[in-house]
Copies of this chain bind each other. A is one copy, B any other.
Amino acid sequence: MARHSKRRRKEVGSSPGTLLFVGEQKTDQPRISVMAYSAETLDEQDIQAVDRLKSLRQSPSRKWINLIGIHDTTMLEKFGLQFDIHPLTLEDIGNTGHRPKIEEFENYLYLVLKMLQFDPAGKKIEAEQVSLILGPDFLISFQEAPGDVFEPVRQRIRKVKGRIRKAGCDYLAYALIDSIVDHYYLILERIGERIEALEEQIVAQEIRQQTLKEIHFLRNETIFMRKQIWPLREMISQLSKGEFDLVQPATHPFLSDVYDHVIQILDTVETYREMLGGLLELYMSSVSNRMNEVMKVLTIIATIFIPITFVAGIYGMNFDHMPELHWRWGYFGVWGIIAAMVLAMLLYFRKKKWL
């Protein structure tokens, strides 16, 4: 549930712009890594003190500053000072309960995205908040925990020839967003496989309580996923339509491409939800069907044997005067009656199409 309701900004009623970390601390020591690059040069380093960023800021190269671990609010504050970041933005960075959104400030664009991952136990999807601050010649990314999702982008920067080295920071931002969106496909695939497994089980009529829980679980995950991804749609649409000056026209087709992917992902999530709904119905119908079958067996057996048991019961009575008991063929007559009753029942059932 914490996934849904942790999103309380701060102490109720406290002043806005108060820097507070709201979330679960996922890493010990914040780590700042910087890539300063131009078409020809590349300078990669890890930085301990935020103050060192000052000199960096003046350099003419494009700068990608990646900060892992956002629970250290003093550090965030220093960042804010170095890069003229609005207090509300800092507060948002430090609060992991936000929806994806885009906000334009005077000198930068602020973007919030959600990295999705299955937890180590593969039980449920976890969201990590990634914030991007896109300035004219720098991009700052904030991650909650270390992860390898941005590694391919780093490697592309390291290659001298790539387009990424020539393009501006907006293209770098695109590359990061694209990595995150690509990651969603991994989640989709795993969910897809599980739905497929479920479907096979249900079609094979293996009725287990476990199946129900799995459907329920997957449904909740798709609800969660849609909630995390849905706002991306509009946000990337805005980016790709040139509403922001910081995004150059050359980057628009790439952003349109990401937009297409987001739409596809949402489409697939929606399809999964519909399929899960269908599976639940199929499952419930199978249970119903099965019950029907069980009831029929019970009814047939009971309806045949209860009456003839009564007949046997009658001639088990100990009355002094029961003429049939003394008839020569009485016993065999009873068998005849019983056979007739059974036959009648069977015909009735056949007529009802129960047999």
Contact = CB atoms under 8 A, between A and B. Distances in A.
Interface of A: 1-2, 4-5, 7-17, 86, 88, 97-99, 101, 103, 149-153, 156, 162-164, 178-179, 182-183, 185-186, 188-189, 191-193, 195-196, 203, 205, 207, 209, 212-213, 216, 219-220, 223-224, 227, 253-254, 256-257, 260-261, 263-264, 267-268, 271-272, 274-275, 278, 280-299, 301-303, 305-310, 312-322, 324-331, 334, 352, 354
Given A1-B192, A317-B318, A260 B99 contact: yes
A285 B308 CA distance: 34
Most chain B Cβ neighbours within 10 Å, of A256, A274, A327: A274
Copies of this subunit:
5
Given A196-B1, A330-B319, A292 B287 contact: yes
B5 A216 contact: no
Given A207-B292, A223-B275, A309-B313, 18 more contacts: A1-B192, A4-B268, A8-B189, A12-B183, A13-B179, A13-B183, A14-B156, A15-B164, A16-B257, A17-B163, A99-B260, A205-B209, A288-B288, A301-B303, A306-B309, A315-B318, A316-B316, A318-B322
Q: Which of A192, A195, A306 has the most CB of B within 10 A?
A: A306
A260 B101 contact: yes
Given A149-B13, A163-B17, A271-B4, A330 B326 contact: no
Contacts of A312: 310, 313-314, 316-317
Contact of A294 (B267, B275, B292, B307): B292
A278 B318 contact: no
